Amino acid sequence: SRLLTRRFFCARRRNILEIFNTVKDMQDKANRLREQGKRIAFVPTMGYFHEGHLDLMREGRKRGDYLVISIFVNPTQFGPAEDLDKYPRDFERDRTLAEEVGVDAIFFPDNEGMYPPRYQTYVDVEGVTKNLCGAARQGHFRGVATVCTKLFNIVKPHVTVFGKKDFQQLVTIRTMIRDLNMDIDVIGMPTTREHDGLAMSSRNVYLSEEERESALSLSRSLFLAKKMFEAGETDAGKVLAEVTRYIESYPHTRIDYAKISCVDTIEEAQHVGVDTFIALAVKVGKTRLIDNHVFGEVLDIPYPEGR
Give the active site residues. Answer: 53
Confirm or reject binding of residue 199 to ligand AMP (CB under 6 A): yes
Q: Interaction with ligand AMP in 154-173: which residues (CB under 6 A)?
A: 162-163, 165-166
| Near ligand AMP by CB under 6 A: residue from 33, 40, 56, 132 | 56
CB of 147 to ligand AMP, least distance (A): 10
3-class DSSP assignment, residue 188: strand
| Near ligand AMP by CB under 6 A: residue from 30, 52, 148, 263 | 52
Q: Please choose, from the candidates 70, 277, 54, 282, the residue with its C-alpha nearest in 3D space to the C-alpha of residue 170.
A: 277
Confirm or reject binding of residue 244 to ligand AMP (CB under 6 A): no
CB of 125 to ligand AMP, least distance (A): 16
Confirm or reject binding of residue 191 to ligand AMP (CB under 6 A): yes
Using the minimum distance from each CB to ligand AMP, give the nearer residue, 175 or 191.
Answer: 191
Q: Are 281 and 290 in contact (CB under 8 A)?
A: yes
Q: Please choose, from the candidates 241, 215, 203, 227, the residue with its C-alpha nearest in 3D space to the C-alpha of residue 299.
A: 227
Sheet holding 287-294, edge to edge: 253-262, 276-284, 287-294
| Near ligand AMP by CB under 6 A: residue from 146, 202, 217, 219 | 202
CB of 7 to ligand AMP, least distance (A): 35
Cβ neighbours of residue 67 under 8 Å, at least 6 residues apart? 41, 42, 43, 57, 60, 61, 102, 103, 104, 105
| Near ligand AMP by CB under 6 A: residue from 40, 45, 54, 59 | 45
Confirm or reject binding of residue 189 to ligand AMP (CB under 6 A): yes
Say how far apart CA 122 and CA 274 lie, in whole Å: 34
Say how far apart CA 275 and CA 191 lie, in whole Å: 18
Helix/strand/coil percentages in the chain, nearest 5: 45, 20, 35
Confirm or reject binding of residue 70 to ligand AMP (CB under 6 A): no
User: Per this entry, what is the length of the chain?
Assistant: 307
Confirm or reject binding of residue 201 to ligand AMP (CB under 6 A): yes
Q: How many residues lie near ligand AMP (CB under 6 A)?
A: 17
Q: Which residues of the shown chain bind ligand AMP in the complex (CB under 6 A)?
A: 45-46, 52-53, 55-56, 162-163, 165-166, 189, 191-192, 199-202
